[in-house]
């Protein structure tokens, strides 16, 4: 059922970025959809919607995975009732475990992991079972720790050429609208000679300027970013971190302690120095192809970029081919999923040129350290 077929009333929206009210319409689709003039601004999973202390009789709600400071205000009683029926954890804070209950949950998770390890081949296999159960708030804590490690490996400042930033924001918005990610994502460009892009748990994507330099078309870059959105949607990086960190990592997550040195190293190494499985890569490729198809853009350029880098890349520890190894089956699947372009490019020629130059001359000169510590 489309959003237009399932309208859910009007509301006031604060997006957490601009301090002003926005009159929006709501729809109850696969998630709570927030729209302005027919454009989708955000989609909040029902299970993540929580109620905030309201002013007077107004219902005020937020989503666990939404940007800080983002919320909705609803004063229409019928719309309030519709939200209450769809968002079953609206008052989840009342049933959240107390500190003792949280401690028991943590040890229960740890015990399940250890027991499962003996029965089914260890924590790496159990990571596929556990990752989907991790709350978004915990996932974001892991992402924050991973972000700190990334900035040690790539110490250059974020690329801020204004027109390039605008072009990247446009790409990000279009991709998120088409992919309907389960949580908001942000894309940041940083200078590096390494041709790569990678995602972190919680919705952050880093685009390295070396990849922009290698790319011959915007569809190649957009394909890579759509692929990284697939890893975010499938929580692939969280699976890797759980598989690497094991029970100790889960206990740290449960207690909200992701600041210890050992935890930081595990997170950093898991994100930067490990390859995804073939299954994870295939799923992310399929997600990218579906997203690109919704935009009317082809998926084949993603495979063409990777194939071209295969002949140029030295396969170093931060190589895109280490993170995303290119197999013949994967390339064949990308070509099979490809549809001819049915819509104009996302960016104009001027915007594409601005994105390519988002890091200026810094991007070609800075080489990162090759470890996460």
Q: How many domains, in total, are found in the chain?
A: 2
For residue 369, the model assigns a pLDDT of 42
Buried b (16+ CB within 10 A) or exposed e, 162-196: eebbebbeebbebbbbbbbbbbbbebbbbbbebbb
**Cα–Cα distance between 241 and 263 in angstroms, integer?**
10
Cβ-based neighbour number of residue 21 at 10 Å: 10
Domain end marker among 40, 75, 94: 94
For residue 173, the model assigns a pLDDT of 92
The verdict on 177 and 326 lying in the same domain is: yes
For residue 136, the model assigns a pLDDT of 81
Q: Which residues pair with 62 in a beta bridge?
A: 50
The verdict on 206 and 80 lying in the same domain is: no
Query: Token pair for residue 113?
Result: 């992991």
The verdict on 90 and 137 lying in the same domain is: no
Q: Which of 157, 296, 308, 275 is nearest to 226 (CA)?
A: 296
DSSP string, 89-120: TTTHHHHSPPHHHHHHHHHHHHHHHHHHHHHH
Overall size of the chain counted in residues? 373
For residue 367, the model assigns a pLDDT of 43
For residue 228, the model assigns a pLDDT of 94
For residue 55, the model assigns a pLDDT of 62
370 domain-assigned: no
Query: Token pair for residue 259?
Result: 């600041």
**Cα–Cα distance between 207 and 212 in angstroms, integer?**
8
115 domain-assigned: no
| Sign (positive or negative) of CA dihedral 160, 161, 162, 164 | negative
The verdict on 13 and 158 lying in the same domain is: no
104 domain-assigned: no
Low-confidence ranges of the chain (pLDDT < 50): 1-5, 93-98, 114-115, 118-121, 259-262, 314-315, 317-318, 363-373
102 domain-assigned: no
Domain end marker among 94, 109, 141: 94
For residue 357, the model assigns a pLDDT of 96
End-to-end CA distance of the chain: 48
Q: Which of 136, 133, 151, 13 is nearest to 69 (CA)?
A: 13
The verdict on 274 and 219 lying in the same domain is: yes
**CATH number reported for the structural domain that contains residue 78 in this entry:** 2.30.29.30
Contact call for residues 242 and 130 (beta carbons, < 8 A): yes
Cβ-based neighbour number of residue 250 at 10 Å: 24
Q: Which domain holds residue 8?
A: 3-94
For residue 311, the model assigns a pLDDT of 61
The verdict on 193 and 304 lying in the same domain is: yes
**Cα–Cα distance between 163 and 172 in angstroms, integer?**
14
122 domain-assigned: no
């Amino acid at each position: 059922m489309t959003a237009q077929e399932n309208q859910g009333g009007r509301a006031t929206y604060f997006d957490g970025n601009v301090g002003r009210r926005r009159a929006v319409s709501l729809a109850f689709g696969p998630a709570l959809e927030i729209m302005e003039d027919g454009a989708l601004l955000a989609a909040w999973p029902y299970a993540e919607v929580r109620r905030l202390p309201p002013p007077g009789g107004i219902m005020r709600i937020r989503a666990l995975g939404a940007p800080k400071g983002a919320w909705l205000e609803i004063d229409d009683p019928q719309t309030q009732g519709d939200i209450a029926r769809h968002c079953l954890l609206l008052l989840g804070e009342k049933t959240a475990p107390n500190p003792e209950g949280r401690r028991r949950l943590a040890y229960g998770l740890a015990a399940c992991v250890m027991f499962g390890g003996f029965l089914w081949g260890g924590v790496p296999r159990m990571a596929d079972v556990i990752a989907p159960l991790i709350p978004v708030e915990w996932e974001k804590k892991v992402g924050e720790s991973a972000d700190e490690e990334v900035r040690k490996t790539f110490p250059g400042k974020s690329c801020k050429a204004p027109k390039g930033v605008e072009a990247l924001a446009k790409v990000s918005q279009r991709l998120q609208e088409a992919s309907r990610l389960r949580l908001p994502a942000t894309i940041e460009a940083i200078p590096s000679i390494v041709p790569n892009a990678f995602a972190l748990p919680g919705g952050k994507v880093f685009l390295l300027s070396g990849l922009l330099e290698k790319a011959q078309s915007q569809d190649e870059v957009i394909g890579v970013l759509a692929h990284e959105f697939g890893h975010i949607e499938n929580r692939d990086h969280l699976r890797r971190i759980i598989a690497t960190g094991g029970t100790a990592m889960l206990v740290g997550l449960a207690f909200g302690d992701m600041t210890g040195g050992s935890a930081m190293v595990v997170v950093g190494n898991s994100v930067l120095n490990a390859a995804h499985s073939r299954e994870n890569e295939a799923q992310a490729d399929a997600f990218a192809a579906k997203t690109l198809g919704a935009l009317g853009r082809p998926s084949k350029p993603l495979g063409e970029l990777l194939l071209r880098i295969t002949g140029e890349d030295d396969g170093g520890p931060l190589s895109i081919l280490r993170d995303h190894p290119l197999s013949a089956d994967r390339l064949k699947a990308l070509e099979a999923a490809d549809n001819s372009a049915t819509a104009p490019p996302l960016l104009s020629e001027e915007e594409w040129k601005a994105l390519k130059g988002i890091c200026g001359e810094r991007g070609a000169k800075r080489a990162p350290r090759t470890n996460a510590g």
